[in-house]
């Protein structure tokens, strides 16, 4: 096979994977006979049959995080990232390793595959369901996902916990060192943030779940890490590359560094601040710039960090602090960090605010601020990322069960995955995770969220469930 053929196969393969993702997404929303579904099925059929002419057999295989077509790794453009990412997750959920097209296919063959794929969602043996239902189609076969064995590999949840708490530990160390006048290792900060970027690219929902666990005693350090995680995750949804995500994570981690200059008795005051105390607190962005410029030689990242430290309370319409000249536009990273900072601060308990706000309540307040304090377009991306019911939200279901939102669903925002923690009789139960898109034999949703609840009222410790 010459290089030109490779390039052509790569091009069509990219389109094919993208189209398969579109087909499955569309079929989850619409009936298989809907015109939208029929149209995308026809496009996919044409792409497969185009490749079959030159290749005879097409094997689309998932290995690790990448797709291969006939042993050729498929490289994808940024605009297809969400579709590729979606397909990787869906394959893994179903233990599906490869789809093999053995001859020219018809739209009906694709319909059988779609129905098999979707009906396997709620089975304890999803791959077996797909394999069995495809037995009536001669042109398409499937193989099980091969496990990549790595003796040193940890279970994903443990990896995410390790990355998160390493970042909290590093942040605590940095603040302590700066306060005692010691030198700080910025290279270590980069390694810490790069690990978080890797985890967000691989396990975004798990790491976002860590930000929902609020630790009152360590608010300062957890807040810095949470803002970094939320900013990186938002940056990924905006299509930023790995280098930019690392820079964004770094500047977010240091956004509040000026607060270490605020006297301890003010920062930890359990009652409302006086006007004089507010004046001191509002100086922390300027103090942050000073602390960052002292850290290291003046490089680009230090300057970016100083800009974000200075701007993160200025607001989209410049109505915040420090006051500055009119007409200035906030830095792109500052707008992102501002969103993450407000969301995490509102949903955390602090000395002067023992009871944190529920995530959905925080989002509704932020919605009122969009266009004034917050960039309205970035806020839309943010709400799409955390979901209508963010991870950690306590919800009452129509079945009278209580559950914690465990994983958001970007395709069906109002139907996340929920960990059931209380049965219909009010008894605590061990968390079975229910998917709210699951339907019964009559095509009715089995569970639906009726309203959100206050976890403090039920004395629910999020860490107990989300960890």
The sign one gets for the Cα dihedral 334, 211, 147, 86 is negative
pLDDT mean over 168-181 = 82
Q: With CA atoms as reference, report the closest residue to 200 among 174, 170, 171, 238.
A: 238
Q: What is the pLDDT of residue 150?
A: 42
Tell me, yes or no, whether 150 lies in a domain: no
112 and 78 in contact (C-beta within 8 Å)?
no
Task: Check whether residue 343 and residue 231 sit in a common domain.
Answer: yes
Q: With CA atoms as reference, report the closest residue to 234 among 79, 380, 356.
A: 380
Q: What is the pLDDT of residue 215?
A: 57
Q: 273-322 pLDDT, tens per residue? A: 888 998 999 999 999 999 888 876 668 888 999 999 999 999 999 999 99
Place of tokens 């306060």: 179
Percent of the chain with pLDDT over 70: 91
Domain with 316 in it = 156-386
Structure tokens at 140: 């398409």
Task: Check whether residue 197 and residue 308 sit in a common domain.
Answer: yes
Tell me, yes or no, whether 359 lies in a domain: yes
Task: Check whether residue 107 and residue 227 sit in a common domain.
Answer: no
Query: Whole-angstrom Cα distance, residue 363 to residue 438?
Result: 26
374 and 334 in contact (C-beta within 8 Å)?
no
Report the range of poorest mean pLDDT among 58-62, 152-156, 307-311: 152-156
Of the three residues 337, 358, 386, the one that is the final residue of a domain is 386
pLDDT at 329 over 70: yes
Sequence-distant (6+) residues with CB within 8 A of 385 are 208, 233, 234, 237, 408, 410
Tell me, yes or no, whether 15 lies in a domain: yes
CATH number at residue 210: 1.10.3210.10
Q: What is the pLDDT of residue 153?
A: 42
Q: With CA atoms as reference, report the closest residue to 142 among 174, 105, 97.
A: 97
Q: 375-417 pLDDT, tens per residue? A: 999 999 999 888 888 888 889 999 999 998 988 887 787 888 8
Top-confidence residue, 41 or 461: 41
Q: What is the pLDDT of residue 462?
A: 72
Task: Check whether residue 452 and residue 378 sit in a common domain.
Answer: no
Average pLDDT, the chain: 84
Q: 331-371 pLDDT, tens per residue? A: 999 999 999 999 999 888 665 555 678 888 899 999 999 99
Task: Check whether residue 376 and residue 444 sit in a common domain.
Answer: no
Number of domains in the chain: 3
How many CB atoms neighbour CB 7 within 10 A? 10
With cut-offs at 50, 70 and 90, classify the pLDDT of residue 443. Answer: confident
Structure tokens at 185: 């290792």
Strand partners, 397: 449
Q: What is the pLDDT of residue 1?
A: 43
Query: Whole-angstrom Cα distance, residue 309 to residue 316?
Result: 15
Task: Check whether residue 376 and residue 405 sit in a common domain.
Answer: no
Dihedral of the alpha carbons of 186, 187, 193, 196, in degrees to the nearest 10: -150
Strand partners, 453: 394
Report the chain's terminal Cα–Cα distance, integer Å.
Answer: 50
Tell me, yes or no, whether 114 lies in a domain: yes
pLDDT mean over 91-120 = 91
Q: What is the pLDDT of residue 146?
A: 77
Q: What is the pLDDT of residue 350?
A: 62
Task: Check whether residue 264 and residue 193 sit in a common domain.
Answer: yes
pLDDT mean over 435-448 = 87
Task: Check whether residue 326 and residue 433 sit in a common domain.
Answer: no
Structure tokens at 408: 């958001």
Report the range of poorest mean pLDDT among 15-24, 72-81, 162-171, 324-333: 72-81
Query: Whole-angstrom Cα distance, residue 156 to residue 162?
Result: 10
């Amino acid at each position: 096979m010459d290089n030109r053929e490779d390039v052509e196969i790569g091009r069509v393969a990219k389109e094919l994977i993208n189209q398969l993702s579109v087909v499955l997404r569309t079929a989850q929303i619409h009936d298989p006979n809907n015109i939208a579904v029929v149209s995308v099925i026809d496009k996919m059929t044409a792409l497969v049959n185009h490749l079959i002419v030159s290749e005879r057999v097409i094997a689309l295989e998932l290995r690790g995080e990448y797709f291969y077509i006939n042993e050729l790794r498929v490289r994808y453009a940024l605009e297809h990232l969400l579709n590729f990412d979606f397909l990787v997750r869906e394959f893994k959920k179903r233990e599906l390793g490869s789809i093999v097209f053995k001859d020219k296919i018809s739209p009906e063959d694709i319909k059988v595959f779609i129905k098999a794929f979707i009906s396997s969602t709620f089975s304890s043996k999803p791959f077996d369901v797909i394999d069995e239902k495809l037995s009536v189609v001669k042109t398409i076969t499937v193989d099980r996902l091969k496990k990549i064995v790595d003796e040193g590999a940890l279970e994903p949840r443990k990896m995410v916990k390790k990355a998160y708490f390493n970042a909290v530990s590093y942040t605590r160390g940095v603040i302590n060192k700066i306060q005692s006048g010691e030198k700080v290792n910025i290279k270590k900060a980069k390694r810490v943030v790069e690990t978080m970027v890797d985890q967000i690219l691989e396990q975004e929902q798990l790491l976002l779940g860590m930000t929902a666990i609020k630790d009152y005693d360590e608010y300062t350090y957890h807040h810095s890490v949470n803002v970094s995680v939320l900013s990186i995750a938002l940056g990924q949804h905006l299509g930023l590359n790995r280098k930019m995500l690392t820079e964004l994570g770094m500047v977010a981690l240091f956004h509040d560094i000026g607060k270490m200059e605020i006297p301890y008795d003010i920062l930890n005051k359990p009652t409302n601040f006086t006007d004089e105390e507010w004046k001191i607190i509002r100086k922390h962005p300027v103090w942050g710039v000073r602390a960052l410029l002292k850290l290291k030689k003046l490089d680009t990242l230090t300057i970016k960090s100083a800009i974000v430290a200075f701007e993160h309370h200025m607001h989209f319409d410049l109505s915040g602090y420090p006051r500055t000249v009119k007409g200035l536009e906030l830095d792109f990273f500052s707008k992102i960090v501002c969103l993450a900072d407000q969301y995490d601060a509102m949903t955390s308990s602090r000395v002067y605010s023992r009871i944190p706000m529920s995530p959905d309540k925080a989002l509704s307040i932020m919605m009122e601020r969009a266009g004034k304090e917050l960039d309205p377009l970035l806020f839309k991306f943010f709400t799409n990322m955390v979901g209508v019911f963010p991870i950690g939200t306590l919800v009452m279901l129509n079945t009278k069960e209580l559950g914690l939102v465990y994983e958001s669903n970007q395709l069906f925002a109002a139907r996340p995955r929920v960990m059931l923690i209380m049965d219909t009789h009010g008894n605590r139960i061990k968390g079975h995770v229910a998917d709210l898109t699951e339907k019964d034999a009559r095509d009715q949703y089995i569970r639906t969220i009726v309203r959100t609840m206050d976890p403090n009222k039920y004395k629910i410790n999020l860490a107990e469930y989300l960890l």
